[in-house]
């Protein structure tokens, strides 16, 4: 299994792409939502109710994309993510988020969904450097991961802009400020968990 950001065609948008996504088999959303594992206890200290925040972020991202199916989110650490990044992408360093599809969004006959793994230390550094709360940055990365599972990518400027706009709209549904707007501090002010 390879991370979404390193395999498969990028999301191109448009009617043809929407038809392709519509023909992808999907499962109805589970009654109990995404499977969430807090593998590193520091998440519990840094983010109030991290599993609840992750579940809400997955839910709004699924609604925004129109996709439904199993999503697993693991709140891990840099060491775990670095090992996975090396094994699956050949990059010997941690990254903020890795996504692994169960079946590519463009392929028929598979189950839509996947795994999202997020690295604590990297997210903490990025949030601090950007003046964001950990909760706001975590919500952003969960939505980013779900969009990758839905076929969106950011390897080219047009794709990146489309993905950023959808992330900003989706984050606003959680009460999180647009992280792409200069001079705005992304917080979870007004966000209900």
pLDDT digits (tens, 9 = 90+) for 169-187: 999 889 898 887 765 444 4
Of the CA atoms within 13 Å of residue 193, those in its CB half-sphere come to 13
Among 55-69, 85-99, 105-119, 135-149, where is mean pLDDT lowest? 105-119
Hey, which bits of the chain come out as E strands? 35-38, 71-76, 97-101, 114-119
The candidate with the shortest Cα–Cα distance to 56, out of 74, 34, 29, is 34
What CA–CA distance (Å, rounded) separates 53 from 50? 5
106 sits in which H/E element: none
More confident residue, 105 or 145: 145
State the pLDDT at residue 151: 86
Which residues contact residue 51 at a Cβ distance below 8 angstroms, ignoring those fewer than 6 apart?
36, 38
End-to-end CA separation in angstroms for the chain: 32
Please tell me the CATH code under which domain 26-172 is placed: 3.40.390.30
pTM, two decimals, is 0.77
More confident residue, 1 or 108: 108
Q: Is 68 annotated as a binding residue?
A: no
Mean pLDDT of the chain: 79
Confidence of residue 98 (pLDDT cuts 50, 70, 90): very high
State the pLDDT at residue 111: 74
| Confidence check: pLDDT of 86 > 90 | yes
State the pLDDT at residue 89: 93
Q: Is 156 annotated as a binding residue?
A: no
Phi-psi region of 144 (alpha: psi -120 to 50; beta: other; left: phi over 0): alpha
| Confidence check: pLDDT of 84 > 60 | yes
State the pLDDT at residue 9: 31
| Confidence check: pLDDT of 2 > 60 | no
Q: Is 155 annotated as a binding residue?
A: no
Contact 88, 1 (CB under 8 A): yes
What CA–CA distance (Å, rounded) separates 66 from 179? 23
Tokens of 36: 């969430």
């Amino acid at each position: 299994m390879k991370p979404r950001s390193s395999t498969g065609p990028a999301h191109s948008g448009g009617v043809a792409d929407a038809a392709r996504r519509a023909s992808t088999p999907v499962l109805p959303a589970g009654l109990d939502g995404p499977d969430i594992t807090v593998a590193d206890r520091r998440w519990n200290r840094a983010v109030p109710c991290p599993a609840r925040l992750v579940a809400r972020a997955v839910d709004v991202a699924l609604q925004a994309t129109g996709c439904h199916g199993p999503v697993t989110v693991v709140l891990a650490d840099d060491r775990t993510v670095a090992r996975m990044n090396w094994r699956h992408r050949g990059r010997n360093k941690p990254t903020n988020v890795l996504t692994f599809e169960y079946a590519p969004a463009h392929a028929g006959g598979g189950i839509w969904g996947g795994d999202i793994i997020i690295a604590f230390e990297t997210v903490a550094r990025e949030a601090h450097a950007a003046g964001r709360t950990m909760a706001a940055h975590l919500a952003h990365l969960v939505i980013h991961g779900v969009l990758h599972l839905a076929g969106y990518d950011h390897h080219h400027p047009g794709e990146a802009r489309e993905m950023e706009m959808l992330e900003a709209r989706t984050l606003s549904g959680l009460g999180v400020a647009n992280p792409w707007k200069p001079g705005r501090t992304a917080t979870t002010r007004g966000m209900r968990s």
